């Protein structure tokens, strides 16, 4: 049975907190970075050819090409909203019953992110940039609906990606 909208439900559907953030962090890279990356890819391709794995060599070349092309894409800006019903990221609505847990990694100016662990099997961990949004406000709202992983920090892979400027 469909619920009839009333004043209380309409009030709950309004966002409690809204902010804009980039889709991803684009790191600036020098010409030297591209030379080093190209050298590493060349070494990987040579190793693949030496070991007789042509498909691995092709995979390294394709991955390097895709990364180079995607490097020229600027991040779009996405609007994030927290309401009584869930988290909205751009046009995607994630109800709280599909969020297993959250944690905030806040070490400005390098890392200001909200991590969501969801039930989605293809994208179970989502990273949302906090930008200038107060992490305390975000935490207060989310704690009412979702368990928090306290003390959980940045993963090894995330740290490696950030330090290597990938």
Alpha helices in 51-126 (DSSP H): 54-71
So what's the pLDDT on residue 43?
93
Alpha helices in the chain (DSSP H): 7-13, 31-50, 54-71, 135-143, 156-163
Q: Report d(CA 132, CA 81) in Å as an integer.
A: 14
Q: Report d(CA 87, CA 116) in Å as an integer.
A: 10
So what's the pLDDT on residue 132?
83
Sign of the Cα torsion 104, 108, 109, 110 reads negative
The answer to pTM > 0.85 is no
Q: Element (H or E) spanning 106, and its range?
A: strand 99-107
Q: Read off the pLDDT of residues 30-81 as tens digits, 9 standing for 90 and up.
A: 888 888 888 999 999 999 999 998 999 999 999 988 888 877 777 788 889 8
Terminal-to-terminal C-alpha distance of the chain: 49
Query: Do 125 and 52 meet the contact criterion of CB atoms below 8 Å apart?
Result: no
């Amino acid at each position: 049975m469909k619920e009839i909208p009333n004043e209380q439900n309409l009030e709950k559907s309004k966002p409690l907190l809204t902010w804009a953030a980039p889709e991803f962090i684009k790191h600036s890279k020098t010409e030297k970075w591209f030379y080093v990356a190209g050298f590493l890819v060349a070494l990987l391709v040579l190793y693949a050819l030496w070991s007789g794995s042509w498909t691995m060599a092709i995979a390294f070349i394709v991955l390097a090409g895709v990364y180079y092309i995607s490097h020229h894409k600027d991040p779009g800006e996405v609007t994030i909203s927290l309401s009584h019903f869930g988290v909205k990221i751009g046009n995607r609505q994630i109800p709280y019953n599909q969020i297993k847990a959250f944690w905030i990694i806040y070490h400005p100016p390098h890392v200001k992110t909200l991590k969501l662990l969801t039930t989605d099997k293809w994208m179970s961990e989502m990273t949302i940039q906090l930008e200038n949004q107060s992490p305390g406000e975000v935490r207060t709202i989310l704690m009412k609906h979702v368990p928090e992983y306290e003390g959980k920090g940045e993963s090894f892979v995330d740290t490696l990606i950030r330090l290597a400027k990938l």
